[in-house]
Every structure is written in C-alpha cells, then in structure tokens.
C-alpha cells in the first residue's frame, strides 16, 4: 500500500494537490477538514463542538480527528492506499496514525511537505475565503492564528518523520500543474 501524508501550512494547496495525487496513484483521499465540515453541515454534536474550534482558528481535539481516521481506515480496507490531507496536525496524531496503520500492517510511505511563503499563504487563504465562503478563511486574525498554531503544534511533526527517512520537501510555489509535477516525481521515487 502507498500511504502518503500531504503536509504544509493552511493555504499551501494541500486539498487541490491531494485530489490530483489521489487520481494519479488511485489513492483514497482523506481530508480531516472536509470530514469536519461534513459534520458541521449535518449539525451533529461532533460538528457543533468542532465548529467552535475551527471558527477561532484552533485545532479540533486529537481524540475527535483520530476517531474519524480510524473509522475511515476500517471502512476502506481494500484500497491501494491513502493520501492524508490536513492530518496529522500534532505529534500525538502522527503517533496515533502509525499505530492505526500498524494494525493494518501498512506504514506511512512518506510525508510530502509543501513549502509556501507566509505572505503567499495569507493571500491564497483570503482569496479562497471570497470564493468558498469558509468563515475561517475570511478573517485575517483567524488566518494568522492558524499559521501560529501550525508553527507551534504541526511543524514539530517534521522531526518525527525525518529520522525515519520519510520527510520529502517540495516547493509549493508556482502553478497547480508545476507543483503537481514535483509531487508526482517524488512519489514515483518512493512508491
């Protein structure tokens, strides 16, 4: 199985690129952000709790997202692999993912890190907010908070994957096609 983690700051283009990679390599695309937005739209108890965090630019508790991933893995046993988009976002989530995948004996193949400059990320998110209507993309202070949370809680994950030889940097600046080409090249090498 090919299990990829697509990593990068909010606004790095993870969703777009994950979709393309899922098509190219026939992977199951799992976005915790999308799963949470589905819960919010359905007004479930989980969705209501998650919305409170998302609207402030904070992370949803690990237990919630890990349970969602567990459920996804259990429901999709006969797949070529997964591309995880927006997950893991904390060290605890990275360790929980390894544990869940170990149970299926299919480890993470690699973590692809999209590198995008902070100013570019803010511009992309504000533009996306105008189109998508996502409230967490419309307010500059919420965006700034998401970037701060990313630096404090999510970036340390790099040091988890690096010693395992699973950390791959990809330039996330440029056109969608250019970035997709760079990602594909890395995946071809590590698959």
Copy the structure tokens of residue 57: 């630019």
Nearest partner of 175 among 57, 17, 65, 66, judged by Cα: 17
We find the least distance from the C-beta atom of residue 189 to ligand AMP, in angstroms, to be 26
Which is nearer to ligand AMP, 62 or 169 (by Cβ)?
62
- Three-state DSSP class for 74? helix
- Candidates 82-90, 106-114, 115-123, 176-184 — which segment interacts with ligand AMP by CB under 6 A? 82-90
We find the least distance from the C-beta atom of residue 108 to ligand AMP, in angstroms, to be 14
Q: Is 108 in the site for ligand AMP (CB under 6 A)?
A: no
**Phi (first) and psi of residue 129, to 5 degrees:** -60, -35
Copy the structure tokens of residue 129: 């907010």
CA 97 to chain centre: 13
Q: Is 10 in the site for ligand AMP (CB under 6 A)?
A: yes
Helix then strand count (H, E) for the chain reads 9, 5
Q: Is 68 in the site for ligand AMP (CB under 6 A)?
A: no
Region 147-186 residues binding ligand AMP, contact defined as CB under 6 A: none
How many residues make contact with ligand AMP (CB under 6 A)?
16
Angular region, 11: left φ>0, alpha ψ -120 to 50, beta rest = left
- Residues lying near ligand AMP in the complex (CB under 6 A) are found at 10, 32-33, 36, 53-54, 58-60, 65, 86-87, 89, 93, 136, 146
């Amino acid at each position: 199985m090919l299990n990829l983690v697509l990593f990068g700051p909010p606004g790095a283009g993870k969703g777009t690129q994950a979709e393309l990679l899922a098509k190219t390599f026939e992977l199951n695309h799992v976005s915790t952000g999308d799963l949470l937005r589905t819960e919010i739209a359905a007004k479930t108890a989980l969705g209501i709790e998650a919305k409170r965090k998302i609207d402030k630019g904070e992370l949803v508790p690990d237990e919630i997202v890990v349970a969602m991933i567990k459920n996804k893995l259990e429901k999709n046993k006969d797949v070529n692999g997964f591309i995880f988009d927006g997950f893991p976002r904390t060290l605890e989530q990275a360790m929980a993912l390894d544990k869940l995948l170990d149970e299926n004996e299919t480890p993470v193949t690699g973590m692809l890190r999209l590198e995008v400059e902070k100013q570019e990320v803010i511009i992309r998110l504000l533009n996306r907010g105008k189109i998508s209507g996502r409230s967490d993309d419309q307010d500059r202070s919420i965006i700034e908070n998401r970037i701060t949370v990313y630096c404090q809680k999510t970036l340390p994950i790099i040091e988890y994957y690096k010693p395992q030889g699973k950390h791959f940097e990809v330039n996330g600046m440029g056109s969608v096609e250019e970035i997709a080409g760079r990602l594909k090249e890395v995946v071809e090498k590590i698959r």
